[in-house]
Amino acid sequence: MLELPGSILFVLIIRLIRPFYLVRFQRMINWRIGHYAANMELYLCERDAGINTPDIPYVDVWYRLCAPCNEQLDIMWGRKLNIGPQYLFILANRINALIPGGEVHLIDDNTKNDRDVHNLLERFPPHLSFLPEEEDRGEDGLRALGIPEGSPFVCLIVRDSSYLQNQSSHLDWSRHDYRDCDIQNYIAASRALAERGYYVIRMGAVVKEVMAVDHPMIIDYATNGMRTDFMDIYLGAKCAFCISNGTGFDAVPNIFRRPIVYVDHVPLGYIFTHESRFLATTKKHWLRDEDRLMTFREIFESGAAYSCFTGKFEEIGVELVESTPEEITAVVLEMDERVRGTWRPSKEDEELQRRFWGMFPKTELHGEIRSHIGADFLRRHKEWLE
């Protein structure tokens, strides 16, 4: 087994040269597209900003633990990152951990985090780009989907339990079911966008059901047999904006600096707040014992705003209720107007925003808050701000 001696020698060498030249390494979370996209982009932004960078000459090397969740994303990161051989670095990581002082050789681990607490994504341009031949391939893919040249399109990703259950069927993923939403509730918003000239592309590598709509400008790419790793990335990078519930794929439009409207995002305390391109709503929180909806303050004070498992909501007696098709349509069309530059908030809208963010806890999950809550959502539920 030559891998073990090679890994031992590697660790000894990097320890010897450490006073003059630092070698750092870390594994990539390359099996989940959200982390593989967002975490690596944030690492590069932090490097550009001089955050978590050594004071001496250094090199950072990444390694894969398994096959990538998306081949195209893996190819594109390979053009930007130093990626070492898996067999060497997996063993080297274990050996390094056995010798005191090994922490300095690990890249400061923002690879576990997709929170842009330094607001870097609005400060730096995207690090990934398509080669000319990839641009041609992407445009051909758009034509194959039936999208005419120059036509705007929106990516729609509605979370259900199918992807994680398919990826790791031996595990019980029901703890994340509280995040699931019904794709059929998004048909009205999709039709409204089509009336405004957008094509709507329903995304998803594995989904529970077909989107029950027959419209030439609403394309169920997730189920029509045309989905590829390459087009997943190309569509996410080129969309006018993305509609999501807060799930892995939306990290792709995020790293390409595309606007995102997060519909029914839960937990409320984890909504993404770091970019002015973001617009959000959350699910209604029904308090079963009292037969009523919770206010925002109650959601935060009860701990529901930071509940990350289905069982936790059940424990505190909260049932999560999805937005109606009308509510979804309202926030989606607000995003359209924000993208077009035609959105004009009223004084009431501005006051409701101020009141909401005034009670929003400023934790380590958030940097400077720049995003917005849907105006119609706050108007409908202004009593939750009491």
Tell me, what's the pLDDT at 168?
A: 57
Mean pLDDT of the chain: 94
357-376 pLDDT per residue, tens: 999 998 999 999 999 999 99
The confidence band for 164, taking pLDDT boundaries of 50, 70 and 90, is low
Q: Which residue has the higher pLDDT, 87 or 24?
A: 24
Q: Are 112 and 91 in contact (CB under 8 A)?
A: no
Tell me, what's the pLDDT at 14?
A: 96
> Which of 22-26, 67-71, 109-113, 365-369 is predicted with the least confidence, judged by mean pLDDT?
109-113
Tell me, what's the pLDDT at 4?
A: 84
The structure's pTM equals: 0.94
- What DSSP assignment string belongs to 307-355? --SHHHHHHTTEEEEPPPHHHHHHHHHHHHHHHHT-----HHHHHHHHH
Give the Cα separation of 159 and 75 in Å (integer).
26
Tell me, what's the pLDDT at 160?
A: 86
Phi-psi region of 276 (alpha: psi -120 to 50; beta: other; left: phi over 0): alpha
Helix-strand-coil split of the chain, %, nearest 5:
45, 10, 40
Give the Cα separation of 331 and 366 in Å (integer).
23
Mean pLDDT in residue range 258-265: 98
Q: Are 49 and 120 in contact (CB under 8 A)?
A: yes
Angle at 127 between CA 261 and CA 275, to 5 degrees: 30
Does the pLDDT at position 111 exceed 80? no
Q: Mark 284-311 as b/e (b = at least 16 C-beta within 10 Å).
A: bbebeeeeeebbbebbbebebbbbeebe
Q: How many CB atoms lie within 10 A of CB 213?
A: 18
Does the pLDDT at position 113 exceed 80? no
Query: Coil, strand or helix: which one is 218?
Result: strand
Mean pLDDT in residue range 240-250: 96
Please report which helix (H) or strand (E) contains residue 279, including its range.
strand 278-280
Give the Cα separation of 158 and 203 in Å (integer).
8
**Closest C-alpha among 53, 203, 187, 75 to residue 131:** 75
376, HSE (Cβ side, Cα atoms, 13 Å): 15
Give the Cα separation of 95 and 147 in Å (integer).
52
Q: How far is CA 196 from the centre of its chain?
A: 26
Q: How many CB atoms lie within 10 A of CB 15?
A: 16
β-pair partners for 25: 61, 106
Q: Are 376 and 330 in contact (CB under 8 A)?
A: yes
Tell me, what's the pLDDT at 5?
A: 84
* Amino acid of residue 340: R
Phi-psi region of 303 (alpha: psi -120 to 50; beta: other; left: phi over 0): left
Mean pLDDT in residue range 335-355: 98
Tell me, what's the pLDDT at 187?
A: 98
